[in-house]
């Protein structure tokens, strides 16, 4: 028995007691192997190792993953992997090439999100700025670190919201509050699927009256077309950080590998504060395989299949009378689509009740989990649908049809 003087509520930090954790559709619907998961923007085609599967199986314990070495700590610097990631994002337009010193490698992009806040924000003093609707972990990480969140929404006004960042509004807020140290911008956005306007980003980067960091989250950049990554910009702007991940296009969500390109001085700070052996040997080995020649070929093939299915979903879903507009953009491996409360030709409008009903029926009676996003700013009546395989798209269309007949 413990002593009677312990009181959890007065012992734990108040901001942690009040923390609202990140939630996903898997909190409501578990993966039991029988449902189709179109909720978490994963790559349904599998990892970028699938073309190496026979080699991988033949090499267990020898070439790819040396189990005999697991008693040793992993490489704390990961320079081989970092060089491959630099090679992946080099741009012929930039003479100042990326190098391993430009990189922080972490446990998913979430480690970089958290590390940046810990690096630049004093708890209970400094703030971050986000542009909703956006990725929820920016807020969760700030709350964990006792850092206030300032919100400057994307452009969600009018009948056809652009979901663009609003640089003039952001600049106005920055001028009035010097305690804002970080701006998180998602490109392509989540849940909007829209690339940031490069001219508007440059406007922010070229401000000369703000002392802070702009963080560009490019988790979905590989679905936006060749040459869209702005990773090389980190050698042009001293306060730009570009985050990426192997979880999406590379289909490696299970190994939890994210990375941040940054000016050398910022990358050094991030690497100084990380745990010494944050990337395991198996993770490093698998990531290296994924971003090497054969793995890149597999990724490219899978990406083309996803883009194909994305175009198909855009074409076929509007045939349902209760499907409204696709909002945002089509630059990611998911789409944001409105659910109407009545057929389009009867004056149906986007409706959260209808969207929730479709979401629930798909999951509970049709075996398909998508993501309800209707409570996000500018996303009334919206579902976010991850693009899956051809067979999964067939099932989605068929089961949506059944749901619309039932409601």
- Distance in angstroms (rounded) separating the CA atoms of residues 177 and 9: 32
> Residue 182 is encoded by which pair of tokens?
């970080």
Dihedral (CA of 63, 65, 66, 68) sign: negative
Considering the chain, tell me which residue range(s) the CATH 3.90.1150.10 domain(s) occupy: 14-49+296-406
Over residues 245-266, the pLDDT tens digits come to: 999 999 999 999 999 999 999 9
Q: Is 124 helix (H, G, I), strand (E, B) or coil?
A: coil
pLDDT at 288: 94
pLDDT at 23: 72
pLDDT at 59: 47
HSE of 358, CA atoms in CB hemisphere, 13 A: 33
> Residue 162 is encoded by which pair of tokens?
């652009």
CATH topology (fold) of 66-293: 3.40.640
HSE of 268, CA atoms in CB hemisphere, 13 A: 3
Considering the chain, tell me which residue range(s) the CATH 3.40.640.10 domain(s) occupy: 66-293
> Residue 4 is encoded by which pair of tokens?
């009677």
Helix or strand holding residue 54 (H, E): helix 53-59
> Residue 258 is encoded by which pair of tokens?
């994210």
- Distance in angstroms (rounded) separating the CA atoms of residues 125 and 146: 9
* Cβ density class 48-65: b for 16+ within 10 Å, e for less: bbbbbeeebeeeeeeebb
Dihedral (CA of 246, 252, 253, 257) sign: negative
Residue with tokens 């003087």: 5
Phi (first) and psi of residue 270, to 5 degrees = -65, -40
User: Which stretches of the chain score pLDDT less than 50?
Assistant: 52-63
Closest C-alpha to 268, from 219, 234, 245: 234
CATH topology (fold) of 14-49+296-406: 3.90.1150
Q: Name 258's bridge partners.
A: 106, 245
Helix or strand holding residue 185 (H, E): strand 180-186
DSSP for 201-257, please give it. HHHHHT-SS---EEEEE-TTGGGS-TT---GGGGGT-TTEEEEEESSSTT--GGG--
- Distance in angstroms (rounded) separating the CA atoms of residues 168 and 13: 36
pLDDT at 50: 56
Over residues 121-143, the pLDDT tens digits come to: 999 999 999 999 999 999 999 99
């Amino acid at each position: 028995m413990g002593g009677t003087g312990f009181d959890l509520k007065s012992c734990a930090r108040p901001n942690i007691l009040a923390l609202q954790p990140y939630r996903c559709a898997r909190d409501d619907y578990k993966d039991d192997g029988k449902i189709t998961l179109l909720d978490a923007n994963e790559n349904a085609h599998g990892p970028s190792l699938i073309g190496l599967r026979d080699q991988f199986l033949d090499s267990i314990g020898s070439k790819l993953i040396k189990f005999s070495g697991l008693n040793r700590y992993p490489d704390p610097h990961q320079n081989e992997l970092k060089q491959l990631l630099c090679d992946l994002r080099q741009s012929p337009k930039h003479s100042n090439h990326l190098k391993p010193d430009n990189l922080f490698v972490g446990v998913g992009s979430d480690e970089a999100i958290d590390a940046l806040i810990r690096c630049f924000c004093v708890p209970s003093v400094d703030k971050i700025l986000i542009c909703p609707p956006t990725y929820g972990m920016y807020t969760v990480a700030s709350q964990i670190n006792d850092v206030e969140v300032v919100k400057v929404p994307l452009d969600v006004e009018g009948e056809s919201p652009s979901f663009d960042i609003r640089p003039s509004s952001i600049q106005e807020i920055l001028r009035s509050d010097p305690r804002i140290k970080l701006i998180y911008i998602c490109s392509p956005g989540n849940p909007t699927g829209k690339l940031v306007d490069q001219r508007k980003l440059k406007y922010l980067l070229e401000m000369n009256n703000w002392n802070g960091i702009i963080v560009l989250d490019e988790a979905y950049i590989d679905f936006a077309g060749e040459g869209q990554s702005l990773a090389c910009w980190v050698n042009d702007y001293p306060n730009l950080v570009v985050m990426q991940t192997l979880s999406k296009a590379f289909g490696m969500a299970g190994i939890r590998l994210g990375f941040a390109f940054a000016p050398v001085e910022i990358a050094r700070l991030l690497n100084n504060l990380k745990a010494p052996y944050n990337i395991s040997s198996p993770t490093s080995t698998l990531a290296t395989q994924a971003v090497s020649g054969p793995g890149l070929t597999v990724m490219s093939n899978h990406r083309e299949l996803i883009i194909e299915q994305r175009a198909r979903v855009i074409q076929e879903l509007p045939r349902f009378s209760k499907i409204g507009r696709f909002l945002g953009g089509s630059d990611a491996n998911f789409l944001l689509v409105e659910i109407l409360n009545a057929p389009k030709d009867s004056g149906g409008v986007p409706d959260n009740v209808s969207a929730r009903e479709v979401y629930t029926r798909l999951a509970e009676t049709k075996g398909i989990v998508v993501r309800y996003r209707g409570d996000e700013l500018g996303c009334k009546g919206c579902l976010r649908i991850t693009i899956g395989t051809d067979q999964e798209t067939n099932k989605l269309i068929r089961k949506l049809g059944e749901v619309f007949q039932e409601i």
